[in-house]
Structure 1
């Protein structure tokens, strides 16, 4: 797939080379059904004709409000083949955000997944003058006009129209816009990232030259294609290599679907791998001592083998026994065929990477942003170092700018390469802020390159804060460490201009309840349990244990407990699961600030407050 200039060329090559192979699988009535590359190409051609029949033309923008589904991919590639830009959004976003994005990009049409979303879009169309067409992926009750005259039609109707009136495909220029992907917006309104066909194809070609996937692979798709990681790596890369992509039914059915689909490759954000790690450790903790001992010894032997060190006879036998008793059973839960795990979107802790590796699943962690199409660096078969995000991909250069970090050992990651976005849509001032004079993109991430050229991520510049003692703290890596505990579902570390760090902890209620019952404690309600000083002390002990790995000034002296988890629905997480610190502080700021009462004299720790 070298020298691809646009996504249309990618699709054409894949259909020619893999036409009879299965491409997308969906589960219907308990059975997985697959369409081939050739069938997918036919649907793309028909939908392209349908879009053209509406008057959609080269240079237009079409918004998508849908989770992953075959129709999403059909509509997206139909847009690419018309020279139309795709503007993907999330079903979980607020209607006000859909409205802002549709107006900001001046979308002429919106592809919507459900009747509920269609109804909201019909209502907002009165405030979106550019929006002329609503295309329902479910069957609406007849075509009609929205509040401002936006025409509503169905996906099926457009396929039929395209079959009657075909439209020729075009070959976009590498400079033509393929996507406007809006950033999640942890603060303020989201920004539209302009990604050209050349941006995306250069990125996927570089990745494929580093990690050679073959057509024999199968993945389970649950990363949203509205996110750049899922968009480039799970949609386009898999199509480029002739792989099979099963579409997950829902997030809560990932493990069940993995066992059914039996994928060979899993692309995910660290949250999923963290849950696997936590779940297995919970189960092992309940096993007899001999199994726990074998598990730990097997992990040590696997880590040693991963480092390239020779194993002695006892270690080899131990690893084989651990694999038979524990590791193989975990792999079986994921179908038994899993060979590769690709992690991105956030930093994967070394402990979790080593754990997944020990299971016999090779972990390739990478790093990137929407603005870089997205991959900047990735571990590869030829160059892999757990704990790092690998080396920059071919054609991409990384420079560390220490002028903004207050630390000579690390700095802001600045990226150069053909994957760097065209710019932010209608954001001239912000473009000036993120681009260097010589064309580098300022990522806003903190990191460093080691002596061998491996990149390590240490935090976000905008999240970094200074304690009263002048020490700078990057909270995100500390939070990720805390969340590896089976007792902690979520955490936010806080300490800006304060004498020490505190944290808001969302405990795992099932684990906490089991511990309380083991101690003979019972409570009428979860809130009562969280207020009990013995329960609070137990959570604090776990935080202290984890903090033993932190630097002295990073340690968390006090905590507040919250029963409500951070979710996108509550507004505390973005759709891509990034923490909205401002929103969390708006709700829990008083509880966190109260933890500093009398702290200046370093008085003995007092009981944590309960949020």
Structure 2
């Protein structure tokens, strides 16, 4: 049997090698870093660690088990599960057969699972729980995966299980497939705001280009540790929290419940953190809330210390007073703030949407190096990267990463000559959309550029600024173009705002629908001793004044006609379950309009 243990030894375990396929990278890592911890699983409130060596053995056994189970080269295999050790083992076992890994979200509806599993023609499905097993088994008749729904967890009436396939592989060891770097390795189904999900097909080449580039841009080493809570069914989480570990030999603790994130930060003390902006916003709001509860002298020290730290980072010379303020803030405040994040955090990466520049300044001033990436599932992750070893400019998502080229298409009508649609030329651009040749042709230019659907501009130094979405921009009654996303994203940074939608299509002016974080607002009301039931929040002058001030701050850079003239406060949760958000937290505008049409009409009456 071909075992990763029998491969020739590496001379330098710190050297980041470039590979052409995921399997070669994983096998090398499991040999070189065999004794190093890889994934930590929380069991009874403590983390139990699996080493690279143990992971490698599990992959070999499951790959052989899958082959005996009838899975062969080119077959697609689905995984409906949150982040867990078995997910990563299954993915690399599938890759080792030359198969295609198709991850799905646990939070998707059964009808969405059924559509994706059918569209991808999967030959089997791994599922996380008894509940998911029951729902998928109910739809398996006459499907390509009939009789091959395999639970990770123990399910009493299941014919097969993850462990039974591991045991099958132990007794029937098999050779791994010869991997073609240009062959499909995975399919990620993007959750569009309208229509059915689209299957984005990535090759080993695509994914390895992204992994190699990010590895080269960071200083991640085997001693580094992170927390894993980004969904692995999303390209950001998959690249950062699964594949990158096998390039550098570092480890990640699996967060079982995001509500335990702050506790897990204390326990794990990560050096790297990968998160979407919403997480950093919550951390920032938490710190500011604690500062606002302090005496004025402490608040002044925090503010002055932050200003001095930022000035120093920008290369400015500090006065004696600024040096003393910075020294005091670092000793009395900054160390305690960093302790909230575990005390050892040195690097952070964000993506999926824009991070507030004030939060970037905050983290950089604390000595935490922040990088921000911009891209899409269709580009296997990032087209640009700002920070870490890359050039940085506040407000920009950075310059194109090595080997990638950006172009702005000014033929898009967006009301300005400076902006246009962002087109990316990258070795990581997807192969195609699965079963959708027509759509594939519409998103690629004739010379291979991917049309991102985003609006943006590039300055003289090559820094990209993303300003909105092509499909989400609209015209007011007077013909003026409005790009709502930039205003909505700014408003969502406010602590009491959960979600927001700007609207004004063919209307004389814009209005805003604001969905509140009910828990935080209730706490604010109780602390202020305001006697107001929730059904009256929309008309309460104190609450409206608070939200109005937030809207004004969110619109500080907006043009006059872009600013909403009226707004409504709603208490409904905007979630995937209520049909307002996609699994990747994108807003389904049509659903919002349908739900609140009467309210919207009243705002204009």
Q: TM-score range by the shorter chain?
A: over 0.9
Cα deviation, residue 476, structure 1: 1.4
Matched residue, 1:20: 35
Deviations 1:78-124 (A, max 9, x none): 00000010000000000000000000010010000000000000001
Task: Return the alpha-carbon distance in structure 1 between the equivalents of residues 546 and 302 of structure 2.
Answer: 26
Task: Return the alpha-carbon distance in structure 2 between the equivalents of residues 26 and 46 of structure 1.
Answer: 20
Matched residue, 2:196: 189
Cα deviation, residue 3, structure 1: 3.7
Task: Return the alpha-carbon distance in structure 2 between the equivalents of residues 423 and 196 of structure 1.
Answer: 10
Matched residue, 1:451: 460
Matched residue, 1:116: 131
Matched residue, 1:386: 394
Task: Return the alpha-carbon distance in structure 2 between the equivalents of residues 472 and 320 of structure 1.
Answer: 48
Task: Return the alpha-carbon distance in structure 2 between the equivalents of residues 562 and 338 of structure 1.
Answer: 37
Matched residue, 1:248: 255
Task: Return the alpha-carbon distance in structure 2 between the equivalents of residues 538 and 436 of structure 1.
Answer: 46
Deviations 1:59-95 (A, max 9, x none): 1000000000000000000000000100000000000
Pick from 442, 455, 472: which aligns with 2:481?
Answer: 472
Cα deviation, residue 254, structure 1: 1.1
Corresponding residue SS for 1:403:
coil
- CA distance 1:450–1:90, shift in 2 (3 Å): same
Cα deviation, residue 129, structure 1: 4.0
Pick from 519, 540, 551: which aligns with 2:548?
Answer: 540
Which TM-score applies when normalising by structure 1? 0.93
Cα deviation, residue 519, structure 1: 5.7
Matched residue, 1:463: 472
Check whether the contact 1:506–1:561 (CA below 8 A) recurs between aligned residues.
yes
Pick from 96, 110, 115: which aligns with 2:111?
Answer: 96
Quick check: 171-180 or 318-327, which moved more? Answer: 318-327
1:60-71 to 2 correspondence within 5 Å?
A: 60-71=75-86
Cα deviation, residue 132, structure 1: 4.2
Pick from 238, 243, 258: which aligns with 1:236?
Answer: 243
Pick from 346, 354, 359: which aligns with 1:339?
Answer: 346
Cα deviation, residue 511, structure 1: 4.5
Task: Return the alpha-carbon distance in structure 1 between the equivalents of residues 204 and 554 of structure 2.
Answer: 45
Corresponding residue SS for 1:490:
strand
Cα deviation, residue 130, structure 1: 4.5
Matched residue, 1:259: 266
Matched residue, 2:12: none
Matched residue, 1:497: 506
Structure 2 residue 534 is matched with structure 1 residue 526: yes
Check whether the contact 1:295–1:322 (CA below 8 A) recurs between aligned residues.
yes
Task: Return the alpha-carbon distance in structure 2 between the equivalents of residues 584 and 282 of structure 1.
Answer: 31
Cα deviation, residue 16, structure 1: 2.4
- CA distance 1:157–1:414, shift in 2 (3 Å): same
Matched residue, 1:269: 276
Deviations 1:387-425 (A, max 9, x none): 211111111111111111422111111111210000101
Matched residue, 2:8: none
Matched residue, 1:55: 70
Check whether the contact 1:544–1:556 (CA below 8 A) recurs between aligned residues.
no
Matched residue, 1:86: 101
Corresponding residue SS for 1:315:
helix
1:395-414 to 2 correspondence within 5 Å?
A: 395-406=403-414, 407-414=416-423
Matched residue, 1:586: 594
Check whether the contact 2:538–2:568 (CA below 8 A) recurs between aligned residues.
no
Check whether the contact 1:109–1:134 (CA below 8 A) recurs between aligned residues.
yes
Matched residue, 1:420: 429
- CA distance 1:328–1:78, shift in 2 (3 Å): same
- CA distance 1:303–1:550, shift in 2 (3 Å): farther
Corresponding residue SS for 2:201:
strand
Q: Over the residues paired in the alignment, what is the CA RMSD in angstroms?
A: 1.6
Matched residue, 1:433: 442
Task: Return the alpha-carbon distance in structure 2 between the equivalents of residues 306 and 554 of structure 1.
Answer: 35
Deviations 1:548-598 (A, max 9, x none): 34221221211111112321222211111121212222212321232112x
Matched residue, 1:43: 58
Task: Return the alpha-carbon distance in structure 1 between the equivalents of residues 245 and 88 of structure 2.
Answer: 12
Matched residue, 1:552: 560
Quick check: 106-115 or 5-14, which moved more? Answer: 5-14
Task: Return the alpha-carbon distance in structure 2 between the equivalents of residues 62 and 260 of structure 1.
Answer: 35
Matched residue, 2:287: 280
Corresponding residue SS for 2:252:
strand
Deviations 1:365-399 (A, max 9, x none): 11110001111111232412232111111111111
- CA distance 1:303–1:473, shift in 2 (3 Å): farther
Matched residue, 1:150: none
Corresponding residue SS for 1:347:
coil
Cα deviation, residue 354, structure 1: 1.0
Check whether the contact 1:371–1:421 (CA below 8 A) recurs between aligned residues.
yes
Task: Return the alpha-carbon distance in structure 1 between the equivalents of residues 62 and 476 of structure 2.
Answer: 57
Cα deviation, residue 299, structure 1: 2.1
Which TM-score applies when normalising by structure 2? 0.94
Matched residue, 1:577: 585
Deviations 1:108-147 (A, max 9, x none): 1000000000000000112634544111101111444xxx
Corresponding residue SS for 1:124:
coil
Corresponding residue SS for 1:530:
coil
Matched residue, 1:220: 227
Matched residue, 2:9: none
Task: Return the alpha-carbon distance in structure 1 between the equivalents of residues 349 and 111 of structure 2.
Answer: 33
Check whether the contact 2:537–2:569 (CA below 8 A) recurs between aligned residues.
no
- CA distance 1:127–1:501, shift in 2 (3 Å): farther
Matched residue, 1:311: 318
Corresponding residue SS for 2:604:
coil
Corresponding residue SS for 2:126:
strand
Aligned residues: 588
Structure 2 residue 41 is matched with structure 1 residue 32: no
Task: Return the alpha-carbon distance in structure 2 between the equivalents of residues 490 and 286 of structure 1.
Answer: 26
Cα deviation, residue 286, structure 1: 2.0
Task: Return the alpha-carbon distance in structure 2 between the equivalents of residues 462 and 378 of structure 1.
Answer: 24
Task: Return the alpha-carbon distance in structure 2 between the equivalents of residues 507 and 332 of structure 1.
Answer: 30
Task: Return the alpha-carbon distance in structure 2 between the equivalents of residues 295 and 556 of structure 1.
Answer: 34
